[in-house]
Amino acid sequence: MHHDLDHFEKIARATIASLPRAFRPAADNVILRIAEWPAPAMLDELGFADPYELTGLYEGIPMTEKSVPDLAPSPDVVWLFRQPILAEWRDRGDVELNQLIAHVVVHEFAHHFGWTDEEIAATDQWWV
């Protein structure tokens, strides 16, 4: 099994395509980016010292906060970070890599749909 960036992108795109139909139009407007590591500026902005702590990131304005007057807002982006995801996968040892990739994708898209980390945790037992 390949663990390269292309594999991560393939699993992420398949996950997005499998979102419930009501979410797909909004998801189609989000740019998917896959990188080896989060950029130092991202870590600084979020207050993370350890790049392994960040497996994914949603950058944008949640749909629940967007307004019509927002002219040409920057595109929303969901980031996946390959090395931190691989490290979590190895540390856990109890989950398939593809499941973990899909899980991070769903978590970040939930932020796009306007969910907070607390709301995600309440409905998603993965993080408990």
Domains of the chain: 5-61+75-120 (3.30.2010.20)
CB–CB of 30/75 below 8 Å? yes
pLDDT of residue 73: 66
pLDDT digits (tens, 9 = 90+) for 76-110: 999 999 999 999 999 999 999 999 999 999 999 99
Residues 6+ away with beta carbon under 8 Å from 115: 62
pLDDT digits (tens, 9 = 90+) for 10-33: 999 999 999 888 888 888 889 999
Residues 6+ away with beta carbon under 8 Å from 15: 101, 102, 105, 106
Residue with tokens 């663990």: 3
Residues of the chain by 3-state class (helix, strand, coil), percent to 5: 55, 10, 35
Quote the CA–CA distance of 79 and 92 in Å, as a whole number: 21
Residue 38, judged by CB atoms within 10 A of its CB (0-12, 13-18, 19+), counts as buried
Residue 32, amino acid? L
> What angle, 0 to 180 degrees and rounded to 10, lies between the N-to-C axes of helices 97-112 and 82-92?
130
- Judged against a pLDDT cut of 50, whether residue 127 lies above it is answered with no
Q: Is the pTM of this model over 0.95?
A: no
